[in-house]
Amino acid sequence: MAVRVVGSFELVFRPALIAIALTIVLATPVELFGLTLPEPVLPLVLAFAWPLIRPSMLAPGVLFALGLFLDIFWGGTLGTWPLALIAVYAVVLGSRNLLAGQETQVLFVWYAICCAIAFFLVYLVVSLDAGQAPSLIALLLQIVPTLLFFPAADWMVQRFDDGDVRFR
């Protein structure tokens, strides 16, 4: 029986670079029929999938860097998105034993809960920093596209879950 070893580049760095590239592409000022492109928080997909696939010391560091990238790119308060991404990683890591082997519907519910946690933390930090609450409509317009990227997280879990049987 051959063991397929999934390295750090294939599991961590390539998806992180894809998330950065897609974030930049989706932030382009393209308008079609009066609508602009959605701006989902793509690193949330990684923060959810990585602890389910294989917990590592590298993933939280990369998530922190991705969060700083989002803060700088979107002009937010530094540390807001790293806090949210690390919180999601911690929640999924803590519930990893419950989530292992679950069906896609159960994983989607957990992904939605994790997105709600992350966006609540960001909403709280932005509210405290600005002194007033941000728009709930703008928040929903960012949550919905982020939830629609769940198939990417599910694909990563299905693709890489059996990538290295040495960690089971």
Lowest mean pLDDT across 12-21, 32-41, 158-167: 158-167
For residue 7, pLDDT over 70 is answered with no
Predicted confidence (pLDDT) per residue in 125-155, tens digit: 999 998 898 888 989 989 999 999 999 998 9
Task: Select the more confidently predicted residue: 6 or 93.
Answer: 93
Q: What is the predicted pLDDT for the residue at 31?
A: 82
Angle, in degrees to the nearest 10, between helices 104-130 and 150-160:
130
Q: What is the predicted pLDDT for the residue at 166?
A: 47
Q: Which domains does the chain have, with CATH numbers?
A: 8-167 (1.10.1760)
Q: What is the predicted pLDDT for the residue at 161?
A: 67
Task: Select the more confidently predicted residue: 127 or 99.
Answer: 127
pTM to 2 decimal places? 0.87
Q: What is the predicted pLDDT for the residue at 29?
A: 86
Give the integer Cα–Cα distance in Å for 69 and 79. 10
Q: Which three-class secondary structure string do you get for the chain? A: CCCCCCCHHHHHHHHHHHHHHHHHHHCCCCEECCEECCCCCCHHHHHHHHHHHCCCCHHHHHHHHHHHHHHHHHCCCCCHHHHHHHHHHHHHHHCHHHHCCCCHHHHHHHHHHHHHHHHHHHHHHHHHHHCCCCCHHHHHHHHHHHHHCHHHHHHHHHHHCCCCHHHC
Q: In this structure, what token pair is assigned to residue 24?
A: 């930049």
Q: Compute CA distances 74 → 23, 26, 161, whole Å.
A: 10, 12, 32
Predicted confidence (pLDDT) per residue in 62-91, tens digit: 999 999 999 999 988 899 999 999 999 999
